[in-house]
Amino acid sequence: MTKDLKIGDKAPAFAMPTDSDGKISLKNLKGQTVVLYFYPKDLTPGCTKQAIAFSKHIKAFDKAGAVVIGTSKDPVNRHDKFKEKHSLSIILASDEDSHVSEDYGVWVEKNMYGRKFMGVERSTFLIDAAGVIHQIWRKVKVNGHAEEVLTAVQAL
């Protein structure tokens, strides 16, 4: 069942393992702005381009008080390889069981070449310091997206 989150909704709680044997949870980020973006798969062209774009602007996100978390179903060891190969400076969280993707309504039926399958819809959620969803981007196109999100963060 897909959740239909809207701007102004309380962001669903999450706790996930991250690259470098870390852990991250919304509860521990209370009081900070959170950019939670979902992407299909590590080491693929679009996902790599997106992660590099967010990493390129990490200092500006930090200055604006925002934590950037890229989330996919990939296991932590794959995130570590992804980060190392592309010198990524963002946090990569692992949602192997799809619970967080389901809670955010991004685990959806996809259709490619006539074949239907379940997968992650490339989406980004901007969560304010109070834990409320401030902005939602669905079916994200990678080009210019990190910059658009940064502009929204800076406007908070």
Residue 149 has pLDDT above 60, yes or no: yes
What does each C-alpha distance from 95 to 8, 23, 70, 107, 134 come to in angstroms?
A: 24, 12, 10, 11, 22
d(CA 105, CA 1): 8
Contacts of 58 (CB under 8 A, 6+ apart): 68, 89, 90
Residue 112 is predicted with a pLDDT of: 79
Residue 145 is predicted with a pLDDT of: 95
What average pLDDT score do residues 65-76 get?
A: 96
pLDDT in tens, 9-41: 999 999 999 999 999 999 999 999 999 999 999
Confidence of residue 1 (pLDDT cuts 50, 70, 90): very low
- Does 60 map to a domain? yes
What average pLDDT score do residues 36-58 get?
A: 95
- Does 5 map to a domain? no
- Does 2 map to a domain? no
Q: Which pTM does this prediction carry?
A: 0.94
| Number of domains making up the chain | 1
Catalytic: 47?
yes
- Does 9 map to a domain? no
Q: Count the helices and strands in the chain (H runs, E runs).
A: 5, 9
pLDDT in tens, 79-126: 999 999 999 999 999 999 999 999 999 998 888 788 898 889 999 999
Of the residues 5, 29, 36, 47, only one is catalytic, namely: 47
| Structural domain that includes position 117 | 15-22+31-155
- Does 37 map to a domain? yes
Residue 75 has pLDDT above 50, yes or no: yes
CATH code: domain of residue 120? 3.40.30.10
- Does 117 map to a domain? yes
